[in-house]
Amino acid sequence: MKVGIVATFQSTLVLVSSALLSPGQVEGADLGAGKIIYDTQCAVCHGASGRPDRDSPVVKGLGVMPADFSDPLFNSREPSGDWEMVIKHGGHALGLAEQMPAQGEALSDEDIANVTAYIKSSVDTQAYPPGEMNLFLPTRTKKAFLEDEVVYKGRFTDQDGDNARKHVIEIEKRVGKASQVMAELVYESEGDVSELAEVEIGYKRAISFSPQHILSAAAVWAIPVEADGDGQLQTYLAYGRVLSNDWIFQSSLRLKFPFEGASEGEAELAGIVHWVHTPWPRNVFPALEVTATNPFRSRNGDLEWTVLPQVRIGLTRGGHVALNLGAELPLSDQSWDTRYYVTLLWDFADGSFFQGW
């Protein structure tokens, strides 16, 4: 049994990740200049302290409630780059309220960066993972950021004999400052057999983060419904990092422990690189993902490798509804030929499903 080896491997991943966790240097902004701009351009709608005054005639006349920058959860979960785009191009550009006017002609890029930094600094968000780490959702690699999402995952497996299909509905809800609860329904079919296979319930917590990286730990309990077996416990570490303006990297190490015999479980290591060639969310972003799976009771030839080219397609102007398409190809001797994936994500913290199309 290779449990000891896997545990050592997991510890090694933590140590390697820790070595990469030092945040990159962020160019300093002029908060004093940002405050002047905020007081003269923004406070009339958003309030002097960042909280809109509901009784203000200006706010009442807008017809919508401006963003409350004093809320640390809201302030932290929104990336600075998105706010800069909204300030420069207006709310409509990212599918938000049209009442937010574009300031690109009145303010320089430096002004916009300064006022964004001032707004970000107006409330203490140190205990909240930053929105910059809400990276694209991969197909196999587990995501480290904590967000409010509804996700559909579909998988078609081309294999000898009857082909197989898998459908997953997942709901993720942010809890507190750095935690998330998760629930999944898993439906599987192969040939004439179709079943609600299992329900999964999980908890995830961010344990280290900065505007350049995030590391989370999670535990998931898979409870069989119509499938055979006693279920299993899954634990994983998930890591994300911004490599540059154009590239992001994510990885995860997942361990599966079946309740009928933990030694019958397996370890799965996955990693993905996305090319982020534009800041506009409604676009096509290619990625390449690689996975390696090995049973705890490994023998020669048990290690399974796959490669999974895929694309993320932002469907809404703000990218809070997105489609992911991919095809997984085996690189080792496996029982299936090709797997095809489709994932539909709705980040409901950023608006309704039909907003910003």
Could you state, in order of their start, the residue ranges of all structural domains in the chain? Answer: 31-121, 129-350
Provide the pairing of β-strand 336-347 with 321-330. antiparallel
Fold of 31-121: Cytochrome Bc1 Complex; Chain D, domain 2 (1.10.760)
The CA-based diameter of the chain, rounded to the nearest angstrom, is 74
Token pair for residue 139?
């197909």
Alpha-carbon gap, residue 275 to 286, rounded angstroms: 6
Alpha-carbon gap, residue 43 to 133, rounded angstroms: 28
pLDDT of residue 173: 97
pLDDT average per 10 residues of sequence, the chain (357 residues): 42 40 52 94 92 89 90 93 94 91 92 95 95 96 96 96 95 96 96 93 97 97 91 97 96 95 89 97 97 86 91 97 98 92 96 94
Q: Express each pLDDT in 16-48 by its tens digit.
A: 444 343 333 335 789 999 999 999 999 999 999
Q: How many CB atoms lie within 10 A of CB 301?
A: 8
Beta bridge partners of residue 158, listed in sequence order: 338
Conformation bin of residue 191: beta by default, left when phi > 0, alpha when psi is -120 to 50:
left
Fold of 129-350: Porin (2.40.160)
Contact 128, 146 (CB under 8 A): no
Alpha-carbon gap, residue 100 to 103, rounded angstroms: 9
The pTM of this model reads 0.87
Contact 59, 52 (CB under 8 A): yes
Cα dist. 147→25, 40, 76, 311, 325 in Å?
Answer: 26, 33, 12, 21, 21
pLDDT of residue 40: 93
Contact 8, 91 (CB under 8 A): no
Look up tokens 């990218």; give the residue: 319
